[in-house]
Copies of this chain bind each other. A is one copy, B any other.
């Protein structure tokens, strides 16, 4: 039974959204197309009416994940005054909530090592999203020329990805919390220094 163009577009979007959650929760290799379509409320036969291959839905899901992460980061930043916005962003990323909800979190923390082994087009799409987040953060770092700020944001975001990944691996809850806490302390202190200390 054919659906209207608008309905079909909504279906596609819905599949991509739930695919992003499935991938982040179970991994890319760990998510089958049947399960992916079931999670979206469809049978798996219809998959190829929307995508050319599994690879394509991976690419679309990762792109959408970054768009929503960048979007909510932008909203958080414009909602808060001064350089507190960056601190809020970092604190949220390095929170226990984010650690415990991979499905709705950063795709780099959830799928980093799988993406590293992925195709060029997947890595390309992820690189674009990563650099958008980096630029967003760099804009919030004051007391630094733009080039230096970008370099600073580059390592800050990589550090955040590593911290959440490790906090998810470690079995001791105290060590896990300590990783997040210590990383927060190191990343937030420097940018405060210019206004607080001395």
* Interface residues of A, Cβ cutoff 8 Å to B: 26-27, 29-30, 102, 108-117, 120, 123-124, 126-127, 130-131, 151-152, 154-155, 157-163, 165-172, 175, 178-179, 182-183, 185-186
A65 to chain B, nearest CB (A): 14
Identify which of B158, B179, B186 contacts A166 (C-beta below 8 A): B158
Pair A169/B27 contact, Cβ less than 8 Å: no
Pair B166/A183 contact, Cβ less than 8 Å: no
Q: Which 4 A-B pairs have the closest CB atoms?
A: A162-B162, A29-B29, A116-B168, A155-B182
Contacts of A29 in B (CB 8 A): 27, 29-30
Contacts of A123 in B (CB 8 A): 169-171
A96 to chain B, nearest CB (A): 15
Interface centre among A114, A166, A183, A186, by most chain B C-beta atoms within 10 angstroms, is A166
Q: How far is the CA of A120 from the CA of B182 in the complex (A)?
A: 24
| A and B contact pairs by CB, cutoff 8 A, 26 listed | A27-B114, A29-B30, A112-B112, A113-B114, A116-B168, A123-B169, A127-B170, A127-B172, A130-B169, A130-B170, A151-B178, A152-B182, A154-B175, A154-B178, A155-B163, A155-B179, A155-B182, A155-B185, A158-B162, A158-B166, A158-B167, A158-B183, A159-B162, A159-B183, A162-B162, A162-B163
Copies of this protein, total: 2
Q: How far is the CA of A67 from the CA of B121 in the complex (A)?
A: 35
Q: How far is the CA of A170 from the CA of B152 in the complex (A)?
A: 16
Contacts of A126 in B (CB 8 A): 169
Identify which of B162, B182, B185 contacts A161 (C-beta below 8 A): B162
A172 to chain B, nearest CB (A): 6
Minimal Cβ-Cβ distance residue in B for A152: B182
Pair B127/A169 contact, Cβ less than 8 Å: yes
